[in-house]
């Protein structure tokens, strides 16, 4: 049976006999299964979530002056936020994943818009009491956005830097990294790592998009 039968369901109204197959697919992709798959980072789940829920995110973004790229970024950040929350032990999902993702993405886009307008119209000279509330959600959202932007620069790094830093992220030992990268000793591995991180820092520091996160002072 062609795959496209399962993607949209409205044309099944014409053929009630085939609706059973759709129900079966929905059963297969139950909420629990999706949540588990997302927590494990399963590709099939991400694909299903994208196909089913991305139109919803796109409609939120496009209804408020956003384009497709904005929608994709919001979708990415929203999923990362949900993933982070799912990994935390205190968190319990009380609604369906779709509803939850919808609310996360809507808040994310609203905050991003607010920030954009503040920057555009220079209204950040004063901070009202409401805007000044630094909630945990806002922190998480900023974290997700920061992660996306930094990762964008990480992907742009030279091949050897990406490999080296990936090995570090995987928490491999210096000896193993030296062996994989064909470096003479561990000291050289460290030197290359500092060089690559410096490269990444410079890229981030020179990116105007990342400037908003450099408000440490």
Partner 1 sequence: MNESLSHSHWIGKFTDKELTPGEETRLLSQASHNPLLRNELRLDMDINELFDDYDRIQLSETIRKTIRKERGRIIIPAYLKIAASVIILLALSTLTGLIFTFLEHNFQPPELSGNPFLNSQSRGLLCFLPGHSRPSLPSTPLKRRELAQITMSNNPYTPRPEYEFLVGTVTRDISLFVISPLPRVKCRSDSQLKFSWKWLRGPVPVSLEITDNHGRIVLNQVQMTDDSYVLNTRHWARGLYYYKISAGDELVTVGSISMY
What sign has the CA pseudo-torsion 135, 209, 125, 120?
negative
DSSP codes, 114-169:
HHHHHHHTTGGGS--TTTT---HHHHHHHHHHHHHHHHHHHHHS-HHHHHHHHHHH
* Residue 143 interacts with partner 1 (CB under 8 A): yes or no: yes
Q: Determine the Cα–Cα distance for residues 4 and 2; give it in Å rounded to an integer.
A: 6
Give the angle subtended at the CA of 110 by the CAs of 107 and 116, to the nearest 5°. Answer: 140
**145-174: contacts with partner 1 (CB under 8 A):** 146-148, 150-151, 154, 165, 169-171
* Residue 47 interacts with partner 1 (CB under 8 A): yes or no: yes
Q: x-or-dash pattern for partner 1, window 82-111, by CB under 8 A?
A: -xx--x------------------------
Residues that bind partner 1 (CB under 8 A): 1-2, 4-5, 8, 10-11, 14-15, 18, 38, 41, 43, 46-47, 50-51, 54, 72, 75-76, 79-80, 83-84, 87, 143, 146-148, 150-151, 154, 165, 169-171, 190-191, 193-195, 197-198, 200-201, 204-205, 213-214, 216-217
């Amino acid at each position: 049976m062609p795959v496209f039968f399962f993607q949209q369901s409205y044309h099944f109204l014409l053929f009630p006999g085939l609706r059973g197959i759709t129900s079966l697919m929905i059963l297969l992709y139950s909420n629990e299964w999706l949540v588990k798959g997302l927590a494990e980072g399963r590709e099939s789940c991400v694909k299903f979530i994208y196909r089913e829920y991305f139109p919803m995110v796109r409609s939120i973004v496009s209804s408020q002056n956003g384009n497709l790229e904005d929608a994709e970024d919001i979708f990415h950040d929203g999923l990362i936020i949900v993933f982070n929350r799912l990994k935390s032990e205190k968190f319990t999902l009380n609604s369906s994943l779709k509803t939850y993702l919808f609310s996360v993405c809507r808040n994310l886009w609203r905050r991003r818009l607010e920030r954009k307008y503040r920057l555009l119209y220079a209204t950040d000279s004063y901070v009202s009491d409401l805007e000044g509330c630094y909630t945990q959600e806002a922190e998480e959202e900023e974290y997700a956005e920061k992660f996306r932007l930094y990762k964008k620069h990480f992907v742009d790094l030279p091949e050897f830097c990406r490999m080296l830093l990936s090995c570090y992220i995987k928490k491999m030992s210096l000896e193993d990294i030296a062996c994989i990268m064909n470096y003479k000793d561990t000291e050289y591995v460290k030197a290359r790592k500092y060089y690559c991180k410096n490269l990444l820092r410079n890229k981030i520091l020179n990116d105007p998009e990342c400037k908003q996160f450099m408000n440490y002072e």
